Amino acid sequence: MTLGSSCKAKKTMSEKIIAWFEKRRQTKAMQLMQNHLALATGAVEELAKAIQFKVEGDDKKANEAISSLSKIEDEADRLRRDISLDLTKGEIPPAERDDLLHLSKRVDMIADWSRESGRVLSATPLSKMPSELAILCLNMVETVKECVWAVRKCVDRLTSDLKGALEWADKVERLEEKVDEQYIEARRYYLKLDYSKINPGEAILLSQLLDAVENVADWCENTVDQVRVVAVRML
């Protein structure tokens, strides 16, 4: 195959992907993808509420938010399976279909790690932690919330504004770096905990919570990395 014919084939494939998006933008697969993102966003928002309630010592409201988070994550899992099934029935080329399946799986991991954060949080007595550390944890989850909203905007633009999608991908990356900085700061404070006032089991739970929340941000970045893969194929 000559260079010219290779470029032409690549262009034709890109046109197929764009045409597939255009044709299905308002159909089941794309609607499910948008709903999936909305659920991932909702999961992170419930996690943020739960952490706030835990810091305030309101375990009842915290547990209600965690329960809501679990239900949202269950629904996100169901939607991911529906998206996978719908994509396998489509006319999009196999490589590009796999890219979109990977994108859906990464969005689902945002909800999965939100649920894991909630699971750990349910047993973590945040109200007993030093106020400085509790504030650091709250700041961290608020940045994660910004991060997942940026992911949603990024993926939403994939079907209509590739440049805009890539710009939002860059913003997600910057927010994820901010979460990393907040995580490191929280870890530094964690190392200074007074173990005469907190038992080792509670300290371990707090450590796991920080890791889980940071993983939510990591999967936000992983999701937009996949958006970049899809976008490159469409250029």
The Cβ of residue 44 has, within 10 Å, a number of other Cβ atoms equal to 28
pLDDT at 90: 65
Sign of CA dihedral 142, 146, 147, 149: positive
pTM given for the model: 0.86
Tens-of-pLDDT digits for all 235 residues of the chain? 554 554 555 555 555 555 555 554 445 666 788 899 999 999 999 999 999 999 999 999 999 999 999 999 999 999 999 888 888 876 667 777 788 889 999 999 999 999 999 999 999 988 888 889 999 999 999 999 999 999 999 998 887 888 999 999 999 999 999 999 999 999 999 988 887 778 889 899 999 999 999 999 999 999 999 999 888 877 6
pLDDT at 17: 58
CA-CA distances (angstroms) from residue 50 to 1, 47, 65?
A: 58, 5, 5
CA torsion, ordered 148, 152, 158, 162, to nearest 10 deg: -60
Q: Residue 91 carries which DSSP code?
A: -
Measure CA of the first residue to CA of the last residue in the chain; give whole Å. 21
Beta strands in 64-140 (DSSP E): none
CATH class given for the domain over 12-234: mainly alpha
pLDDT at 33: 81
Cα separation of 38 and 14, whole Å? 27
Query: What does the domain layout of the chain look like in residue ranges?
Result: 12-234
Cα separation of 161 and 108, whole Å? 23
* Distance from chain centroid for Cα 107: 5
